[in-house]
Structure 1
C-alpha cells in the first residue's frame, strides 16, 4: 500500500542544527516511528513563525511531507502541545532535560518505533517539571531506558552461573550484562564492586513507578555508587561520552563550591 504523501506525528524535539541557508535539521523522537530527522525550510529567517516551536524538549504535533527514498521528510506545520516552561526556567532542571534528550538520541534508532521509550521520556520530563528529587528521577530514567532499549542489566541472578543471588556483596560488569557472584569473574571482564544496598535500590527502581520514588531514602555515598554504576553501563552501550552529563556535573561542582 502506498503511504500518504503528508502525515501527522506527535514527537519530542531532541535537538536541532542549521541546514543550508536558512533551514533547520531537527532530530525528534516520535510516538509512532521512533527517532526521526526532518527539515524545516526557512526556519531561521526573521519572518519564520516555526523556530520557537522547535526548541529542544518541546512536545509537538506536526504535519510532515514525505521525501523521496533516501531523502529527509519536511515539517510543514507544527503545534506545541507542551513546552515544559517551568523546567526550562531553571538551569539545573533544563540541563537534566537535555541529558535525557541526549540519551534518547543515542539509544533511539531511526525508523524503529518504541512507544515505551517515548512514554518514558514524556513522563520523566513531566515529573522533572515539578520534582524535588531530580537525582532519583534521573536514575529511574537511566535504568528504564536500558530496560526498554533491550540492554537491561541482570539484577537478580549471576549472569555466569545463573544462580539466584544470595544476600551479600557481589560484582557488576556491563561487559557480561549485569551482576556476578563473587565466585564468577570472567577473565578480562571489567568489574565493579556491588554492595547489598546498591543492589536493593536498583531492584526497587526497576519495579517502582516514578510516583513511588518518593519512598526512596538513600544517603549521599549510596547515591554516588548507583550513579557511577549506571553511568558505566550507559557509556558501555552508547560507546561514547555523554556531553550533557559533564555539564550537569560542572553545575553541581560550582554550586558546592559556592560559585
Structure 2
C-alpha cells in the first residue's frame, strides 16, 4: 500500500460497524475517493477532525490496490466553514453542491479545477448575502468542467447562430433554433438574459463571474433549467435537491 497525502473536502460519511466510519472525500490530488477511519466513533480524539460534510481536511491514507476503500491513518481539519453551518439555507446549498459534484465525477479521477471551484464556492458562500446565486454560478461552471455542459453557443442540432428566438431542450442538452424547435415537444422558451448570463459565466473566471448581476427572473429560470437538465441526464434525483 502506498502512503498518500491529500487536501480533501468531505462529501458524505456513514457509520461502519461499531467503531468506524466510511467517508467519501473529494480530494485535490486524487479526485473522489472513499476512506475508512477505524475506531473514530469509540475514540473521536484519535483524529484531528470530526469530518463534517463539506469540511476541508488534510488526510493521510494508505492507498489500496484491491479495494475502492482506502485506510485513513490521519485527518486534520483545515476549515469547517462555520459561517455556513450557522445558516440552514447555506447548509442545504453546500450539501447539494457536494452531492452534485459526486454525481458528475468518476471515482479517483483527478479534477483539480473542480476542486478549486468547490473550495472557492464554499469560501464565498460563507459570507454571501445571496448564497443561492453563488450556487447557480458554481453549478454552471461545474457542468462545464465535468463535461456535462448544456450547449448555449448555437443551435445544438444544426449549429446555426441564435440571436432572438431561443428554445431550450433538456433532452438534446441545449438551445434550439426556430427551424429545429419542432424536434422536441417539451422545449421551452428561455430569456435572452438567461442565455447571456450562462455564456458570461462559462467564459469568465470565478472572480469575474461573481460580478455578474442576475435578475430575479433570470435566477428563477436558471434554477428551473439547471435542475431539469441535471435530473434528465443523471437519470436520478439528488437527495439534497428537495431542500433547496
Please state which band the TM-score falls in when normalised by the shorter chain: over 0.9
Q: Is it true that 1:139 corresponds to 2:133 in the alignment? A: no
| Contact 1:198-1:225 within 8 A present in 2 as well | yes
Q: Distance in 1 between matches of 2:22 and 2:31?
A: 16
Q: Distance in 2 between matches of 1:70 and 1:157?
A: 44
Q: Distance in 1 between matches of 2:219 and 2:136?
A: 9
After TM superposition, the structure 1 stretch with the greater mean CA deviation from structure 2, 42-51 or 75-84, is 42-51
Q: Is it true that 1:240 corresponds to 2:221 in the alignment? A: no
Which residue number in structure 1 is paired with residue 207 of structure 2? 211
**Structure 2 segments unaligned to the other structure (5+ residues):** none
Q: Superposition RMSD on alpha carbons, in Å?
A: 1.9
Secondary structure in 2 matching 1:202: helix
How far did 1:71 drift?
5.1
**Structure 1 segments unaligned to the other structure (5+ residues):** 249-259
How far did 1:47 drift?
5.0
How far did 1:162 drift?
0.9
Which residue number in structure 2 is paired with residue 252 of structure 1? none
Q: Is it true that 1:185 corresponds to 2:181 in the alignment? A: yes
Determine which of 123, 126, 134 is the counterpart of 2:123: 126
What TM-score, normalized by structure 2, do the two folds share? Answer: 0.92
Which residue number in structure 1 is paired with residue 50 of structure 2? 53
How far did 1:213 drift?
4.3
Which residue number in structure 2 is paired with residue 97 of structure 1? 94
Which residue number in structure 2 is paired with residue 254 of structure 1? none
Q: Distance in 2 between matches of 1:71 and 1:92?
A: 33
How far did 1:138 drift?
1.0
CA gap of 1:68–1:225, structure 2 versus 1, over 3 A, is: closer
| Contact 1:31-1:114 within 8 A present in 2 as well | yes
Matched ranges for 1:19-38 at <5 A: 19-38=16-35
CA gap of 1:64–1:189, structure 2 versus 1, over 3 A, is: farther
Secondary structure in 2 matching 1:62: strand
After TM superposition, the structure 1 stretch with the greater mean CA deviation from structure 2, 176-185 or 41-50, is 41-50
Q: Distance in 1 between matches of 2:133 and 2:222?
A: 10
| Contact 1:44-1:51 within 8 A present in 2 as well | no
Which residue number in structure 2 is paired with residue 251 of structure 1? none
How far did 1:55 drift?
0.9
Q: Distance in 1 between matches of 2:241 and 2:96?
A: 6
Determine which of 60, 65, 69 is the counterpart of 2:62: 65
| Contact 2:49-2:75 within 8 A present in 1 as well | no
Q: Distance in 2 between matches of 1:243 and 1:54?
A: 20
